[in-house]
Amino acid sequence: MKPLALLLLWATSSTAVPTAVPMAAGMTNRTHLHEQFVLNSRDGGNGALNDQIIGTARVGDGDPHQAYRYTQVTSTITCAPDEQEGCSISRQDAKYYAVQFSGGISALWINAGFAVTQTTATGQTGTCNGGAGDTICVWYRTAHTAYTVQKYAYYWRFQQVQDGTKVDAPYVIWSPNANGVGDGYVCALNKDCWNQGGVWWGKSGPAGGPQLYPGNTPWL
């Protein structure tokens, strides 16, 4: 296997790990590692033996598919029963919320070759209308790409990174699509209105990387 990208964490260890997975191409010296990858900590630069590096790589093609994080960005209002023309809620009533990637407490983020980002924010909405007696609110849809990755343990010995071995089971990362691809807002009525800041996940999106929202239903 050739990991496409590695997010590296540096920790000292004296326990050898058996060879199991080939190391990434070009990982032959410390200088190369520092230039190409992000290190969260270092060993002091003394080239000590048995320094452990935890890396993350995509599993196969990543089995990508789209998922959608819905955030209620407005409060919920109710149109008066005798208000013949109904009422509306506009973008001025919306708050902005930060949205980060998901993957569990111990997840190490990589983009795995997809046009995704670690963090983004809910975007602009429009005006939503309701009829007499309706409860109305606005949700913002943040499109994510879900893909499967695997952690590996590598060891630094004799100025070289040795072959790695798998750490734990593969897991899925949900990352916001870059540039808001697939994002949008949804006008909701009655039972679909919760509380401002409420979050709901739709994980039945189409297969593949970042793409426009299919548009068949507002709640994939």
What are the average pLDDT values for consecutive 10-residue runs of the chain, which has 220 residues?
35 32 35 31 45 83 97 96 89 94 89 97 95 96 96 71 77 97 96 96 95 85
Sequence-separated (6 or more) residues with CB below 8 Å from residue 135: 76, 77, 78, 79, 189, 190, 193
Q: Encode pLDDT of 155-213 as tens digits.
A: 766 555 556 788 889 999 999 999 999 999 999 999 999 999 999 999 989 999 999 99
Domain membership of residue 41 (yes or no) is: no
Domain membership of residue 128 (yes or no) is: yes
Q: d(Cα 79, Cα 34) in Å, to the nearest integer?
A: 59
Into how many domains does the chain fold?
1
Tokens of 169: 């089971």
Domain membership of residue 18 (yes or no) is: no
Q: Which amino acid is at 215?
A: G
Domain membership of residue 215 (yes or no) is: no
What DSSP string runs through 93-154?
A: GPPP-EEE-BS-TTPPP--TTSSB-SEEE------EEE-TT-EEEEEEEEEEEEEEEEEEEE
Look at residue 127 in the predicted model and tell me its pLDDT.
Answer: 93
Domain membership of residue 29 (yes or no) is: no
Phi-psi map region of 73: left, alpha, beta (phi>0 left; psi -120 to 50 alpha): alpha
Domain membership of residue 27 (yes or no) is: no
Domain membership of residue 82 (yes or no) is: yes
CB 22 within 8 A of CB 6: no
State the residue range of the domain holding 55. Answer: 50-201
Q: State pTM to two decimals.
A: 0.75
Domain membership of residue 78 (yes or no) is: yes
